[in-house]
Amino acid sequence: MIPTLKVKPSAELLHLENFIIHHSCDIEHWFKSQWKRYQPPFYASVDLRNSGFKLAPVDTNLFPAGFNNLCETFLPLSIQAVSVAMEKLCPEAKKVIIVAEGHTRNIFYLKHLFSLSEILRKSGVEVRIGTINPEVTETLVLPIDESLSIEIDPIIRNGDYVAIQVDKNTVYRPCAIILNND
């Protein structure tokens, strides 16, 4: 599967896209060689600007949003990438907490959290979304659309670990924590 640029075709852009496609093996090899030398973050996003004849990175986000904007065609690759990253970084992880931002009522951010949690679930881990916002003292159920909602739980600290108090007798203690809170 090779990504294609979704913009109006022009000669310059077609040339750039063809160059990227024809050199995709070299590009992938370069990334793999760099990742062997330098540990990449679990996730990040890079904003690109298209001037019509070149693409340039202009910003890198270590706590990215926008997983809801991923093309469905590439979701299997996203799930595979998460599986590989989890196996490498935290092979024993079976339970994960995503630490969400405090302004959790933004519908686009909620859709992002839902998509990120689904990718993680499909990679084989149990996921809960939590917040460190002290105003949240019980589980929030926030609607995303007519048929979907998302649950955001208050995160508690218990000694040297964080968890989610599911009910009076049940504590959800994660193996890994994914920050999505800048």
State pLDDT tens for residues 83-107. Answer: 999 998 889 999 999 999 987 778 9
CA distance 52 to 9: 9
Tokens representing 26 are 């070299």
Q: Are 68 and 114 in contact (CB under 8 A)?
A: yes
Q: Is the domain of 27 the same as that of 49?
A: no
Q: Is the domain of 25 the same as that of 48?
A: no
Q: Is the domain of 61 the same as that of 34?
A: no
Q: Is the domain of 90 the same as that of 161?
A: yes
pLDDT tens track, the chain, 182 positions: 555 556 565 666 778 788 889 999 999 999 999 989 998 888 999 998 887 777 899 999 998 888 999 989 989 999 999 999 999 888 999 999 999 998 777 899 999 999 999 999 999 999 999 999 999 999 999 999 999 999 999 999 988 999 999 988 999 999 999 999 86
The DSSP 8-state label assigned to residue 39 in this structure reads P
Q: Count how many domains the chain has.
A: 2
* 134 CB-near residues (< 8 Å, 6+ apart): none
Q: Is the domain of 20 the same as that of 48?
A: no
Q: Is the domain of 72 the same as that of 157?
A: yes
Q: Is the domain of 32 the same as that of 46?
A: no
Q: Is the domain of 34 the same as that of 45?
A: no
- Enter the pTM of the model: 0.83
Q: Is the domain of 128 the same as that of 70?
A: yes
- The CATH number covering residue 166 comes to 3.40.50.11280
Q: Is the domain of 15 the same as that of 93?
A: no
CA distance 152 to 93: 20
Q: Is the domain of 18 the same as that of 69?
A: no
Q: Is the domain of 63 the same as that of 153?
A: yes
Domain around 121? 40-180
